[in-house]
């Protein structure tokens, strides 16, 4: 990928569970001596042996969990019809999985740009990469081999950041939609041809009523045989004809469909959007496209429609709508989006969705001059529960923590898990600092209550840091840093308490 600009914000503080420099120096010294061949010296030094033993035990547990996760990922990737890919910050493939990777013979180390012909449709992808933002459902033409025709792929990707917030690459999926794209182009051609035939049949009606009947039978046979839904509407938008596939998609018999307004087939969630698009294009003879949900079956369809206008100044004579079922494709895209934006253990928003929500809340707060509170929560004593009752108990405890946090917040608030035992809470449109303090103290008290787990009773507490927009800062990254810094201050002050961020000048005074 394109190498992104280096971040200007200070790096995040290391987690509480990270090893201190002193411990790291001891372990590093022990490993260095081992590499230099001083085995006898190591064995004669008790503290070095102890350090190496502790390191081995810790690494063993971490590697077991990591290897299990990697194995699950590999198993899923082997049977996936998608192309699962990962690149470094220079745009070179570092990981490729899925059936498509084998079919198209993409190589590790290959530059992703070599797959794309120069085309304007790369602008959206380049903009997302430069901004280090996720991208979804980008349809691009890819040249896998000079000897093969280009393929159309639907690409999704999320940025990968290191601990300093620097871009280290991208990870995502690609789905071969060439058949769908070809069908869509064929459908567009088919729509144009059908329109011409319908117009020709209408004109011939004035010349010969006898030929009209034969022409109509021909068109109905053609339309009935088409593997897509086709509807003919009058000038007011009422249905004059709905082919068999259209009746199945809409869940409506042909006799019931006659005379029914086109908008009555559309689900209420999509109706405002369709009515708006319909009205602004009433005078256009071009083929238009949109997606909407059908009311009676709940299916999502991709529709192409055109208004039939005989000539300038003539009233609208009707419309042709052709639609295909895209429910399965939308469902798959939705699942991929959820996997990329939600934590699989707690079902809470993950780091990606947290940053999106925070940017949205701060933008709205700036327009409406509102106060936003950000709580950074780190669990005290979680490692002890994990060590004494096991990892499954730790997972169960994190799930209960998520439920307790969510139950004490408003619908407009956002609670997210950033990883490990760290959580954040976004409090939009609060009245003042006192309101944020009240929420924070309530959460601290709730998390201090015992947790009834399958393996026993778990007891933890929470250290919470609070930062406010715009009182402390108007920048999202700085707001997160201030809340995190305040959380560490709460831990240093004895844990199980709240700390509000204060500038260094105020702390020193």
Predicted pLDDT of residue 11: 39
Calculate ∠ Cα 291-344-378, nearest 5°. 125
Q: Which residues pair with 95 in a beta bridge?
A: 86
259: number of Cβ within 10 Å:
10
Ordered by start, the domain boundaries in the chain are: 21-176, 180-330, 342-508
| Beta carbons within 10 angstroms of residue 324's beta carbon | 17
Q: What is the mean pLDDT of residues 344-367?
A: 92
Q: Is the peptide bond before 470 cis (omega within 30 degrees of 0)?
A: yes
CATH class of 180-330: alpha beta
Confidence check: pLDDT of 48 > 60: no
What CATH topology corresponds to 21-176? Beta-Lactamase (3.30.450)
* 29-33, 178-182, 493-497, 503-507: least confidently modelled range: 29-33
CB 318 within 8 A of CB 207: no
Cross-sheet strand order for the sheet of 318-325: 239-242, 229-233, 318-325, 300-308, 288-293
Q: What one-character DSSP code corresponds to residue 314?
A: P
The CATH code that applies to domain 342-508 is 3.30.70.270
How far is 423 from 406, CA to CA, in rounded Å?
11
Q: Is 301 helix (H, G, I), strand (E, B) or coil?
A: strand
Q: Which of 417, 390, 382, 383 is nearest to 402 (CA)?
A: 417
**pLDDT recorded at residue 64:** 73
CA distance 156 to 315: 44
Q: What percent of the chain clears pLDDT 70, i.e. is strictly above it?
A: 80
Q: What are phi and psi of 155, to 5 degrees?
A: -110, 135
- The predicted pLDDT at position 241 comes to 85
Per-residue confidence at 76, pLDDT binned at 50, 70, 90? low
- pTM value is 0.43
Distance from C-alpha of 478 to C-alpha of 175, rounded to nearest angstrom: 37
> DSSP alpha helices (H): ranges in 313-432?
327-341, 351-368, 382-389, 391-407
Gyration radius of the chain's alpha carbons = 30
The reply to whether domains 180-330 and 342-508 share a CATH topology is: no
Is 96 in contact with 79 (CB distance < 8 Å)? no
């Amino acid at each position: 990928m394109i190498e992104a600009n280096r971040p200007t914000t200070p790096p995040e503080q290391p987690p509480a569970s990270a090893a201190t420099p002193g411990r790291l120096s001891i372990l590093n010294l022990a490993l260095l001596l081992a590499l230099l061949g001083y085995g006898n010296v190591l064995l004669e030094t008790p503290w070095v042996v102890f350090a190496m033993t502790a390191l081995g035990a810790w690494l063993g547990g971490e590697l077991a969990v990591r290897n299990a996760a990697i194995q699950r990922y590999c198993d899923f990737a082997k049977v996936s019809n998608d192309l699962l890919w990962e690149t470094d910050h220079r745009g070179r493939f570092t990981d490729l999985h899925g059936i498509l990777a084998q079919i198209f013979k993409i190589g590790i180390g290959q530059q992703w740009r070599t797959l794309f012909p120069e085309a304007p449709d790369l602008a959206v992808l380049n903009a997302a990469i430069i901004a280090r933002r996720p991208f979804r459902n980008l349809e691009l033409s890819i040249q896998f081999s000079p000897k093969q025709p280009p393929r159309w792929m639907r690409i999704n990707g999320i940025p990968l950041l290191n601990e300093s917030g620097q871009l280290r690459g991208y990870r995502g999926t690609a789905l071969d939609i060439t058949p769908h794209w070809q069908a869509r182009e064929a459908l567009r051609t088919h729509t144009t041809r059908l329109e011409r035939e319908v117009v020709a049949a209408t004109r011939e009606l004035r010349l010969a009523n006898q030929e009209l009947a034969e022409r109509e039978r021909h068109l109905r046979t053609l339309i009935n045989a088409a593997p897509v839904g086709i509807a003919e509407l009058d000038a007011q938008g009422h249905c004059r004809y709905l082919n068999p596939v259209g009746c199945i998609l809409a869940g409506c018999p042909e006799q019931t469909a006659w005379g029914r307004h086109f908008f009555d087939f559309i689900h209420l969630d999509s109706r405002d959007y369709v009515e708006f698009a319909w009205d602004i294009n009433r005078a256009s003879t071009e083929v238009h496209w949109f997606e909407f949900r059908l009311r009676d079956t709940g299916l999502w369809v991709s529709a192409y429609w055109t208004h039939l206008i005989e000539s300038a100044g003539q009233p609208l004579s009707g419309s042709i709508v052709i639609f295909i079922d895209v429910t399965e494709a939308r469902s798959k895209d939705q699942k991929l989006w959820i996997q990329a934006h939600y934590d699989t253990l707690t079902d809470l928003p993950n780091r990606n969705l947290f940053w999106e929500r925070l940017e949205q809340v701060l933008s709205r707060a700036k327009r409406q001059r509102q106060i936003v509170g950000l709580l950074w929560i780190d669990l005290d004593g979680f490692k002890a529960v994990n060590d004494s009752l096991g990892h499954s108990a730790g997972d169960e405890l994190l799930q209960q923590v998520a439920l307790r946090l969510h139950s004490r917040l408003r619908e407009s608030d956002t609670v997210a898990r950033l990883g490990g035992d760290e959580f954040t809470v976004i409090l939009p449109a609060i009245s003042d600092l006192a309101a944020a303090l009240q929420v924070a103290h309530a959460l601290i008290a709730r998390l201090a209550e015992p947790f009834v787990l399958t393996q026993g009773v778990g007891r933890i507490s929470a250290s919470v840091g609070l930062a406010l927009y715009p009182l402390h800062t108007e920048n999202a990254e700085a707001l997160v840093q201030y809340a995190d810094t305040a959380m560490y201050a709460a831990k240093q002050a004895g844990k199980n308490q709240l700390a509000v961020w204060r500038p260094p000048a105020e702390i020193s005074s």
